[in-house]
């Protein structure tokens, strides 16, 4: 009788644990991936911005510059029927060089004007910045963390070539989730028009990022909640966190890649960029910026950032 009693207790306990795990997995899916208002990052110490960077993000001249530009709105339909939008600004002088930006998590296309001003005014590029699926004006009820977005970017690349002509030269420049997006794009079969990829503060995979943040933000081990969240994501959004891997994509990349990261980034650990750089199949360079937090490198070290970028582009642009 005692044995049966303990078996019954064990069975009930197992079922309760599984129910709690499933509920927690749906909670984390809704928290991080489902498209809805999110405030869980407010107060996150890992995203505390230095006063120097904050001045640039909030009051930098780029904001006034962006507000005065007359962007043309473009749109495409994704492979799964979403209408996606982006903003295009033609260079002041005719050029065949275009940069396609990819913004970060919960951002929007025009946030990348921080970098766009430099490409436009100093380098003379056309600039194009889409709203990633699930962001801004683009449709989508989930955030792709770069995976489905990579296929969207293949379509945006084709659109730029269609508009600019067959001799156009394209740079992909992404920040944070946008950096992972352009790295995931780099592993696809890209036209020769794509000359280089710039990845600022990227993560290795969505799974690795969730694993890191569950421990940092909630003091939770990844098992068993994260594997179940992975299954929920696949069921709800049509992709898994494990397959959304920039690391696996750069192992197939043929386009040159420049990695940029701050050594004080605790939101997306700097070591993730080290791993990406070490596993990149194509030609690659990497610069680590001292005392820079997540996405702060350009705001704190604009001259160095522009110099590193210029040196890299000079090697690969005609």
pLDDT tens digits, residue range 230-246?
A: 999 999 999 999 999 99
Average pLDDT for the chain? 91
Indicate the helix (H) or strand (E) that contains 4: helix 2-32
Predicted pLDDT of residue 20: 62
104: which residues sit within 8 A by CB, 6+ positions away?
111, 175, 176, 177, 178, 295
Least confident of 118-127, 151-160, 193-202, 216-225: 216-225
- Asked if the model's pLDDT at residue 31 lies above 80, the reply is yes
| Choice between 14 and 209, residue whose per-residue pLDDT is larger | 209
The whole-angstrom separation of Cα 226 and Cα 228 is 5
Q: How far apart are CA 132 and CA 59, in angstroms?
A: 25
Bigger pLDDT: 19 or 100? 100
For the chain, the straight-line distance linking the first and the last C-alpha, in angstroms and rounded, comes to 81
**Confidence at residue 14, expressed as pLDDT on a 0 to 100 scale:** 43
Segment 241-266 mean pLDDT: 97
Place of tokens 């430099």: 118
Residue 46 has pLDDT above 70, yes or no: no
Q: Residue 219 above 80 pLDDT? A: no
**Residue 201 confidence (pLDDT):** 98
CB proximity list for 4: less than 8 A, separation 6 or greater? none
- pLDDT above 60 (res 17): no
- For residue 10, pLDDT over 60 is answered with no
In the block, residue with structure tokens 């044995």: 3
CB 149 within 8 A of CB 84: no
Note the pLDDT tens digit of each residue in 263-276: 999 999 999 999 99
Lowest model confidence (mean pLDDT) among 47-61, 105-119, 178-192, 269-283 = 47-61
What is the band of 157 on the pLDDT scale with cuts at 50, 70, 90? very high
pLDDT-derived band of residue 15, with 50, 70 and 90 as boundaries?
very low
Write down the pLDDT at residue 215. Answer: 84
């Amino acid at each position: 009788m005692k044995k049966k009693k303990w078996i019954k207790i064990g069975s009930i306990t197992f079922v309760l644990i599984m129910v709690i795990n499933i509920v927690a997995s749906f909670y984390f899916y809704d928290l991080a991936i489902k498209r809805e208002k999110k405030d869980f990052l407010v107060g996150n110490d890992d995203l505390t911005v230095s006063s120097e960077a904050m001045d640039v993000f909030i009051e930098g001249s780029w904001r006034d510059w962006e507000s005065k530009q007359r962007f043309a709105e473009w749109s495409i339909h994704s492979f799964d029927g979403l209408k996606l939008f982006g903003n295009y600004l033609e260079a002041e002088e005719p050029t065949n060089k275009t940069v396609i930006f990819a913004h970060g998590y919960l951002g929007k296309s025009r946030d990348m004007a921080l970098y766009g001003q430099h490409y436009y005014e100093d380098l003379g590029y056309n600039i194009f910045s889409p709203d990633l699926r699930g962001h801004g004006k683009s449709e989508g009820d989930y955030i792709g963390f770069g995976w489905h977005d990579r296929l969207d970017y293949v379509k945006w690349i084709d659109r730029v070539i269609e508009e600019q002509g067959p001799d156009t030269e394209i740079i992909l420049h992404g920040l944070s989730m946008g950096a992972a997006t352009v790295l995931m794009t780099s592993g696809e079969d890209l036209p020769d028009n794509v000359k280089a990829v710039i990845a600022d503060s990227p993560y290795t995979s969505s799974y690795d990022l969730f694993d890191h943040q569950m421990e940092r933000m909630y003091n939770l081990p990844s098992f068993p909640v994260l594997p179940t969240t992975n299954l929920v994501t696949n069921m709800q959004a049509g992709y898994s966190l494990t397959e959304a891997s920039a690391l696996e994509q750069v192992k197939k990349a043929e386009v040159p890649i420049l990695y940029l990261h701050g050594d004080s980034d605790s939101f997306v650990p700097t070591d993730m960029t080290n791993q990406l750089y070490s596993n990149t199949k194509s030609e690659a360079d990497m610069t680590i910026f001292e005392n820079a937090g997540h996405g702060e490198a350009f705001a704190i070290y604009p001259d160095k950032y522009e110099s590193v970028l210029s040196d890299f582009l000079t090697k690969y642009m005609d």
